[in-house]
Amino acid sequence: SAVERAAFWARCDAITLHCPLTDATRGLIDDAALAAMRPGALLINAARGPIVDRAALEAALASGRLGGAGLDVFWDEPWDPTDPLWRHPRVVTLPHVAGSTTEAFDRIAAIVADNVARVRRGEPLQHRVD
């Protein structure tokens, strides 16, 4: 519930997002979520851009409520390099590469291989998101 989420946000010094973009997660980090976070908290989004309400993020940064943000994903990709968030002093941006490691690619390959075997056996897939 919104009350439970607000209580959760209030206990966190940093929030990291690693979830799929679904109807339930779109706009999950909005004005209310950012207002509930501890002053100076950090927000890291390595999931999908629209999980964070951009206007709410910009307002929280401008007011100083949010200590900073790390963004590996954006609302529109590829992201416009003239966007002011690229140069914001309390925002670190990456060009959607946080998961581009040998270990990540090996894990993805293993999951794909396992899911192919699961399909052949008529079993449910791992990590399915509808």
* Cα–Cα distances in angstroms (integers) from residue 87 to residues 20, 49, 68, 69, 123, in the given order: 27, 17, 12, 12, 47
Q: Are strands 91-93 and 66-71 parallel, antiparallel or unpaired?
A: parallel
pLDDT in tens, 71-129: 999 988 777 878 888 889 999 988 766 666 777 667 778 877 888 888 889 998 887 76
The pLDDT of residue 82 is 86
- Is 11 annotated in the active site? no
- Is 96 annotated in the active site? yes
Q: Closest Cα partner for 55 from 33, 80, 81?
A: 33
Count of residues in the chain:
130
Q: Pick the catalytic residue from 5, 38, 88, 96.
A: 96
pLDDT above 80 for 130: no
Determine if the pTM surpasses 0.95.
Answer: no
Q: Pick the catalytic residue from 18, 77, 90, 123.
A: 77
- Is 77 annotated in the active site? yes
pLDDT in tens, 17-62: 999 999 999 999 999 999 999 999 999 999 999 999 999 999 999 9
Residue linked to tokens 């090996």? 106
